[in-house]
Amino acid sequence: MLNLHKQRWLAVLMVFVLVGITACSSGNKGGNEASSSKPPSEASGSKLVEESAAPAEHVNLTFMYWGSNDEKKAMEKMIDSFNESHPNITVKGEHVPGDYNTKMNTLMAANQLPDVAYLGDALTNKWGSEGKLLDFSQYYGDYPELQNKLKASYLYTEPGKAVANFTALEVMVLYYNKEIFEEAGVPLPPSDPTKAWNWDEFVTVAKQLTKDKNGKHPGEEGFQEKSIDQYGFSFGSDRGTYGPLLESNGAGILDESGTKYALNSPESVEVFQKLQDLIYTHHVSPDLIQQQNMPDNHVRLQTRKVAMVLDGTWALLDLTNNKKLKWGIGVLPKLKEPKTVILAGTTVVFNSTKHPKEALEFYLYHNNPEQVDLYKTGLWMPTEDKYYSEEEAIKSWTDNEAHPAEFRQAGIDYTKGYAVKSPSTAIKNWPEINSKLAPGLDLIWTNKKSAQEALDELESQIQPLVQGVYPNE
Amino acid sequence: MERKWGILLALPAMIGLVMFTVVPVIASFFFSITDWRIGNEMTVIGFDNYKTILTNDPTFTKSLYVTTYYSLFSVPICLAIAFMIAFLLNQKVRGLSVFRTIFYLPTIVPSIASTMLWLWLFNPDFGLLNSILESLGLPESRWIYDEATAIPSIVLMSTWSVGNTVIIFLAGLQAVPAHLYEAVEVDGGSAWRKFYHITIPSMTPTIFFNLVMMIIGSFQAFNQAYVMTQGGPNNSTLFYVYYLFRTAFTETKIGYASALAWILFVIVMTLTFIIFQTSKKWVHYEGSNK
């Protein structure tokens, strides 16, 4: 039993602990407020007006972004040089590891948004159409550079109202281990989009490169599908895989009008069935569970688990850094037309910013290939038109080991002439649609249902969520 | 004077409770009767959210089913295992403190870390569990990656971190009055009789407490889905709280998610109430006449 004396000490201790906790948490709160730009709240409003009336105004901006360590370092370097060359503006970068969308949603709910930030395409669309993002088209006069980007890199929520630009371009391509191809005596995947493999050619090659532990290929006598040592091809289960193939087959998630679910159209079913067949009929691809548990794509290629992978151009960075791997880049196989999709995050300026001009100045700087070295290392591709058309400009970012010779065709020509925005980027209400779509597609990837069955069943779930599409210009 | 000190000393706790619990609870109820989506204006829409959830939301039904299924499996199994461990740890054997440490250790590991660890154990290609099955000549399992085995796998994982329950059971076991055991011994009763007629009845208050806490805990399962499965495959691990979280922060429907939270609250309250009611029949308190 506790005696009274002891209890008193306990109480005092508890008070200290509680005070400590409260102090810490309020300290954190202060830190957050200081680091994120405050939207004009009632209390601080008047004071800020006074400040902005002063002649030598100093502007503070907050920039929020995600990304790997490489990206973080590059961004920090860019921010430093921006602050140096713009003495009246101080940008504070905030790197957010982990669940970025959750963080942004929370900041939006709390009204503590940064001035400039990376944003996923779905949130960009949503907030853009709700008027939370700066409409760039109003500033084309002041900042003509805003118009110099590739057409496909703009996101519009209403015709002509550009609310964002992709931070960098990324398209889906095919990477492969060169040594595997050379040893098997198989011609390398084409890098010229006009010479893209058709599906049958692709499957034939994938079969030649798939081996079980006895070195046998699928279709040969005694081939053991349970003990495959090397797969011909591996692909993810998300829009990065089915997106380009749908485009290539003239299919879409929604129909032409953007109002009707269309994944159960014959062209679309064909895409999903072909992917399912790669796993369960041709045995050239690991199933999605094996695939999820495999290491990163560059390691898969290096360790000869897989001969070809479907991935985005951002993977160039990791592939280049893997010195044990001799890799190459090619275009995706086609169904009808050679096509790929752009799948990238955007950078936006929030309407809540008090300094739209300075924010735009930073915006134009933050992904300028002259300031950021992420282009040369392979992580990013530029959004500005000239980097795809002018010889000097092309060389400035591709003349290095991250961009092998075949990148001219499989990267630049492919992006310029054959890349369209991922269909999901243009669809309204995509996060909700995807939260129904992904579990439904699991049935295809796990061979529980045929593509036709699974996609037919999804219609009743997804159709009520369809709200149309965003304009393309 | 004493009175004043009492209030003053309790104040920090009271302020904390009001600020971080009472106010958010009230706020969440208010949000639940609005259509608030992050970034939008909110309008009060009455109980429409509740109506939609209860009548027209297959995902809600699925997540409730998943959570109930998990709860029905994990609570009895964990309770039994924790009781067994506590019983063994209550024996007088050499190196007891070492064993106690070992069994409590998993509880100290942060939940996210242990979930990551289990992710490796469950790996269908290189995981330890499949290696064991393989060496025993048993067929391998897909564990959390298969619709049918996902929840049982997570139940298996939950048995690993029963340390806290074990501690409470252990405390309960040590409070069983020794004279009752002696009485059985005097009457020539076996060890089994001691266990069945003395240990179990004396432990019912502890079992009752742990049962309630575990049911509440199991209905709030979240980390497993968040870290390991993202609710997949085909929503087979879409725990209720994970669905709630996703609704609020991926689909940005705070109003709807708040309504989900209140429905969960009612469910857990009801369950707790039912258990409390039945407890009169099977929980024995020392000194009471029942």
With cut-offs at 50, 70 and 90, classify the pLDDT of residue A12. low
% of chain A beyond a pLDDT of 90: 61
Domain(s) of CATH 1.10.3720.10: residues in chain B: 58-282
pLDDT score of A289: 80
Rg (CA), chain B: 23
Coil, strand or helix at A59:
strand
Q: Contact B235/A11, CB-based, under 8 Å?
A: no
Q: Contact B231/A21, CB-based, under 8 Å?
A: no
pLDDT at A29 > cutoff 70? no
Query: What is the dihedral sign for C-alpha A452, A453, A459, A462?
Result: negative
**Range of A229's domain?**
172-341+420-465
Between CA B127 and CA B115 the distance in angstroms is 14
Contacts of B250 in chain A (CB under 8 A): 101-102, 431, 435
Backbone angles phi, psi at A234, to 5 degrees: -135, 145
Closest CA to A62 of A459, A381, A334, A349: A349
Q: Exposed, middle or buried by CB within 10 Å (0-12, 13-18, 19+), for A456?
A: middle
Coil, strand or helix at B165:
helix
Q: Is residue A408 part of a domain?
A: no
- The answer to whether residues A223 and A351 belong to one domain is no
Structure tokens at A460: 């009743």
pLDDT at A26 > cutoff 60? no
CA A411 to chain centre: 17
DSSP A171: B
pLDDT at A273 > cutoff 90? yes
pLDDT single digits (tens) A278-334: 999 999 999 888 888 888 899 999 999 999 999 999 999 989 989 999 999 999 999
- The answer to whether residues A80 and A198 belong to one domain is no
Contacts of A449 in chain B (CB under 8 A): none
Q: Contact A22/B12, CB-based, under 8 Å?
A: yes
pTM of the model as a whole = 0.80
Closest CA to A348 of A102, A122, A72, A83: A122
- The answer to whether residues A177 and A158 belong to one domain is no
pLDDT score of B189: 84
Structure tokens at A134: 């700066």
DSSP A334: B
With cut-offs at 50, 70 and 90, classify the pLDDT of residue A73. confident
pLDDT single digits (tens) B22-74: 999 999 999 999 999 887 888 999 999 999 999 989 899 999 999 999 999 99
Average pLDDT, integer, range B188-213: 91
pLDDT single digits (tens) A433-470: 998 999 899 899 989 999 999 999 999 999 999 999 99
Structure tokens at A262: 């269309």
Are residues B85 and B168 in contact, defined by beta-carbon separation less than 8 angstroms?
A: no
Average pLDDT, integer, range B1-8: 84
Amino acid in the structure at residue A83: N
Between CA B150 and CA B242 the distance in angstroms is 15
Coil, strand or helix at A216:
coil
Closest CA to A175 of A378, A311, A339: A311
- The answer to whether residues A261 and A349 belong to one domain is no
- The answer to whether residues A187 and A72 belong to one domain is no
Q: Supply the DSSP string of A237-294, one letter for each residue.
A: SSHHHHHHHHHHTT--SB-TTSSSB-TTSHHHHHHHHHHHHHHHTS--S--HHHHHTS
CA B273 to chain centre: 17
Between CA A112 and CA A39 the distance in angstroms is 6
pLDDT at A56 > cutoff 70? no
β-pairing, A228-234 vs A306-312, is parallel
A203-A207-A208-A209 Cα dihedral, nearest 10 degrees: 100
Are residues A366 and A78 in contact, defined by beta-carbon separation less than 8 angstroms?
A: yes
Candidates A8, A435, A461: best to mutate against B (most CBs of B within 10 A) is A435
Helix (H) or strand (E) holding A35: helix A4-35
| Residue B267: how many other CB atoms lie within 10 Å | 15
* Residue where a domain stops, chosen among A331, A359, A384: A384
pLDDT single digits (tens) B158-187: 998 898 999 999 999 998 888 888 888 898
Q: Is residue A410 part of a domain?
A: no
Q: Is residue A1 part of a domain?
A: no
Structure tokens at B45: 């829409």
With cut-offs at 50, 70 and 90, classify the pLDDT of residue A10. low
- The answer to whether residues A325 and A456 belong to one domain is yes
Average pLDDT, integer, range A49-55: 44
- The answer to whether residues A295 and A206 belong to one domain is yes
Q: Supply the DSSP string of A287-324, one letter for each residue.
A: -HHHHHTS--HHHHHHTTSEEEEEEEGGGHHHHHH-TT
pLDDT at A28 > cutoff 50? no
Asked if ipTM goes beyond 0.90, one says no
pLDDT single digits (tens) B243-265: 999 999 888 899 999 999 999 99
Backbone angles phi, psi at A114, to 5 degrees: -75, 175
Between CA B198 and CA B192 the distance in angstroms is 10
With cut-offs at 50, 70 and 90, classify the pLDDT of residue A431. confident
Q: Contact B249/A11, CB-based, under 8 Å?
A: no
Lowest-confidence range among A23-32, A142-151, A306-315?
A23-32
Backbone angles phi, psi at B198, to 5 degrees: -110, -55
- The answer to whether residues A315 and A442 belong to one domain is yes
- The answer to whether residues A444 and A303 belong to one domain is yes
Helix (H) or strand (E) holding A89: strand A89-95
Which of B12, B38, B232 faces A439 most closely, judged by CB atoms?
B232
Q: What pairs with residue A118 in β-bridges?
A: A347
Candidates B21, B38, B52, B65: best to mutate against A (most CBs of A within 10 A) is B38
pLDDT single digits (tens) A398-427: 999 899 999 999 999 999 999 999 988 989
Between CA B244 and CA A415 the distance in angstroms is 39
Closest CA to A416 of A384, A375, A456: A384
Q: Supply the DSSP string of A3-14, one letter for each residue.
A: -HHHHHHHHHHH
Backbone angles phi, psi at A198, to 5 degrees: -85, 175
| Lookup result for tokens 């893997």 | A322
Which of B39, B250, B254 faces A130 most closely, judged by CB atoms?
B39
| Lookup result for tokens 């503070």 | A60
Contacts of A442 in chain B (CB under 8 A): 232-234
Q: To the nearest whole number, what is the mean pLDDT of chain A?
A: 86
pLDDT score of A9: 55
Degrees, nearest 5: CA angle A311-A316-A321:
125
Q: Is residue A351 part of a domain?
A: yes
Are residues B128 and B170 in contact, defined by beta-carbon separation less than 8 angstroms?
A: no
- The answer to whether residues A133 and A279 belong to one domain is no
Q: Is residue A24 part of a domain?
A: no
β-pairing, A59-65 vs A116-119, is parallel
Between CA A69 and CA A65 the distance in angstroms is 12
Contacts of A130 in chain B (CB under 8 A): 39-40
pLDDT score of B273: 94
Closest CA to A286 of A240, A332, A239, A226: A226
pLDDT single digits (tens) B258-285: 999 999 999 999 999 999 999 988 888 8
Q: Is residue A49 part of a domain?
A: no
Structure tokens at A179: 């040594």
Helix (H) or strand (E) holding A175: strand A172-177
Between CA B226 and CA B105 the distance in angstroms is 23
β-pairing, A59-65 vs A89-95, is parallel
Strand order in the sheet with A172-177: A211-212, A228-234, A306-312, A172-177, A327-330
Q: Is residue A42 part of a domain?
A: no
Distances (CA, A) of B172 to A130, B86, B168: 58, 9, 6
Q: Is residue A38 part of a domain?
A: no
Q: Supply the DSSP string of B14-53, one letter for each residue.
A: HHHHIIIIIHHHHHHHHHHTB---TTS---B-TTHHHHHH
Q: Which residue of B has its CA nearest to A104?
A: B249
pLDDT score of A17: 53
Q: B251 to chain A nearest CA, in Å? A: 6
Identify the CATH number of the domain defined by range B58-282: 1.10.3720.10
- The answer to whether residues A329 and A443 belong to one domain is yes
CATH number reported for the structural domain that contains residue A460 in this entry: 3.40.190.10
Closest CA to A358 of A163, A82, A149: A82
Between CA A142 and CA A360 the distance in angstroms is 10
- The answer to whether residues A229 and A158 belong to one domain is no
Between CA B30 and CA A443 the distance in angstroms is 38
Which of A108, A290, A435 faces B246 most closely, judged by CB atoms?
A435
